[in-house]
């Protein structure tokens, strides 16, 4: 049994991905995931609230990276400039997690319960971005609009990324935000 919490989480995530691909999400139990990972079901629930959450491991790190970059941005920068830099700051997470993200997305694409959770996670990230922008002095409505636009631009960049380099993803993020600005 792994002693490191990070190691246990990694093994649980990999076991879940394997089992969800082999059997499907609905046919897989948390007990089976735990057994495949070499831990107890109790250990599983120490790390994840339910069998959906194992696929969304890393969301807190993403949120903290983006919100931290927003908070650290110079006060004079516009919301779109701040968001461009914040999403660029998240690139290393996407480069490191690309293989898992691709496997996870293939499972989400065929599982309505996971699609709902993915939408909820995205909405939660937009809410965090909104709060961070509002804390910088943006009105709540402008901050919410900027957060939604930022997520849309980032999603556009991710869909165009071939996964080969972080530099390419950074470029695509910058291009997507430039396209938003060009809509004026």
Of 1-5, 126-130, 135-139, 161-165, give the lowest mean pLDDT range: 1-5
**Could you tell me the pLDDT band of residue 5, with boundaries at 50, 70 and 90?**
confident
pLDDT value at position 163? 79
Superfamily (CATH) of domain 5-50: Homeodomain-like (1.10.10.60)
What distance in Å separates the CA atoms of residue 130 and residue 136, rounded to the nearest whole number? 10
What distance in Å separates the CA atoms of residue 88 and residue 85, rounded to the nearest whole number? 5
**Could you tell me the pLDDT band of residue 4, with boundaries at 50, 70 and 90?**
low
The average pLDDT across 68-90 equals: 97
Residue 124 in 3-state DSSP? Answer: helix
In tens, the pLDDT along 11-29 reads: 999 999 999 999 999 999 9
pLDDT value at position 101? 83
Q: What does the domain layout of the chain look like in residue ranges?
A: 5-50, 58-182
pLDDT value at position 1? 42
Of 31-45, 46-60, 68-82, give the lowest mean pLDDT range: 46-60
Residue 2 has pLDDT above 50, yes or no: no
Q: Which fold has domain 58-182?
A: Tetracycline Repressor; domain 2 (1.10.357)
What distance in Å separates the CA atoms of residue 155 and residue 147, rounded to the nearest whole number? 12
What distance in Å separates the CA atoms of residue 3 and residue 47, rounded to the nearest whole number? 13
The average pLDDT across 53-64 equals: 90
DSSP track, 57-84: TTHHHHHHHHHHHHHHS-TTS-HHHHHH
184 or 115: which carries more pLDDT confidence?
Answer: 115
pLDDT value at position 173? 97
């Amino acid at each position: 049994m792994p002693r490191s919490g990070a190691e246990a989480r990694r093994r649980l995530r990999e076991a879940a991905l394997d089992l969800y691909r082999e059997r499907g999400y609905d046919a897989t139990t948390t007990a089976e995931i735990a057994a495949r990972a070499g831990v107890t079901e109790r250990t599983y629930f120490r790390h994840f609230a339910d069998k959906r959450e194992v696929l969304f491991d890393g969301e807190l790190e993403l949120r903290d990276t983006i919100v931290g970059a927003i908070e650290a941005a110079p006060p004079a920068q516009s919301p779109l400039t701040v968001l461009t830099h914040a999403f660029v700051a998240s690139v290393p997470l996407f480069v490191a997690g690309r293989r898992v993200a691709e496997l996870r997305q293939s499972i989400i694409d065929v599982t309505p319960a996971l699609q709902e959770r993915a939408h909820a996670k995205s909405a939660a990230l937009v809410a965090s971005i909104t709060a961070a922008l509002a804390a910088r002095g943006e009105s709540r409505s402008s901050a919410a609009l900027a957060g939604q636009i930022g997520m849309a631009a980032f999603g556009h960049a991710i869909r165009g990324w071939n996964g080969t380099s972080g530099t390419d993803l950074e470029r695509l993020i910058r291009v997507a935000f430039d396209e938003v600005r060009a809509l004026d």
